Amino acid sequence: MHGSKALLSIQQTHREIVDKLWNICFSYNLVHTPVKELNRHDWKPVYYFKTFTMPYFTRLFNAWYTNINGKCVKVIPSDIDKLLTPIALAHWIMGAGGFDGHGRGAGRVTLYSKNFTLEEVELLRKLLLEKFGLESSLNKVANADSKRGYAIRIPSRSLSTLQSVVAPHIYPSLMYKTPSRCDRIKLKLYSALATWCTCRAGPLHR
């Protein structure tokens, strides 16, 4: 919020996300200053920009945040079923998601939702299943608020479905977050081969 009005503030380490969003905002005359870069010692640079304050952003802010005991807390909007589209899911993955080769099968995708309560995260899981046919599991992650701090994990058996939903909307430099089945199998094989080679090498002797 900027006073009583809201603006959109984007901060990301992925330059392509910031550039794409800036271009969208620029096409609607919402920004006039270019994307800026913040260099941090021993950290990836952060790219950021801010829009003008707009009534629309104020309405969005009021839908996504509420005051609880004097604190501004993020919440799930009442119309989340309409807001959770393939494009929204793609941006969720690009901004707060990740792929890893662990778990059963050829990897999994984790969607971080640590600012929401258990009830809210269960609602998100329900919508992922009903709208996109995506199975998921719940994982507790670190959070200062014990009532929050959850992540949603999409198992390997649902990754082909996930890719069919979001692939058209994932930016090229972030495709690694939703690799194809062939790429997932390759990653699994490379990991297994690396482990085997490490075990075969054993300790070095003089």
Comparing 203 with 70, the larger pLDDT belongs to 70
Give me the pLDDT at residue 204, please: 45
Q: What is the structure's pLDDT at 33?
A: 94
State the CB neighbour count (10 A cutoff) for residue 191: 14
What would the pLDDT profile of 147-168 be if each residue is shown by its tens digit? Answer: 888 999 999 899 999 999 999 9
From residue 14, alpha-carbon distances to 19, 111, 162, 172, 183 in Å are: 9, 17, 21, 11, 22
User: Quick check: 12 pLDDT over 70?
Assistant: yes
Rounded CA separation 87/59 (Å): 20
Q: What angle do CA 42, 47, 53 make, to 5 degrees?
A: 140
Q: Where are the beta strands (DSSP E) in 90-171?
A: 97-100, 108-112, 137-140, 150-154
Given a cut of 50, whether residue 182 has pLDDT beyond it is: no
163: tokens are 């890719």
Taking only the tens place, the pLDDT of each residue in 42-67 is 788 999 999 999 999 999 999 999 99
pLDDT of residue 189: 44
Which domains can be identified in the chain, with CATH numbers? 1-75 (no CATH), 79-200 (3.10.28.10)
pLDDT of residue 44: 86
173 contacts: CB under 8 Å, gap ≥ 6: 14, 15, 16
Phi, psi dihedrals of residue 3, rounded to the nearest 5°:
75, -125
Residue 192 pLDDT more than 80? Answer: no
pLDDT in tens, 108-151: 899 999 999 999 999 999 999 999 999 999 998 877 677 888 99
Mean predicted confidence (pLDDT) in 7-25? 95
Least confident range of 19-33, 162-176, 178-192? 178-192
At which residue do the structure tokens 């330059």 appear?
A: 15
* Gap between the Cα atoms of 16 and 18, Å rounded: 5
Q: What is the pLDDT, as a whole number, of residue 4? A: 75
Residue 120: how many other CB atoms lie within 10 Å: 17
8 Å CB contact between 166 and 84: no
The mean pLDDT value for 2-8 works out to: 80
194 pLDDT band, cuts 50/70/90, is very low
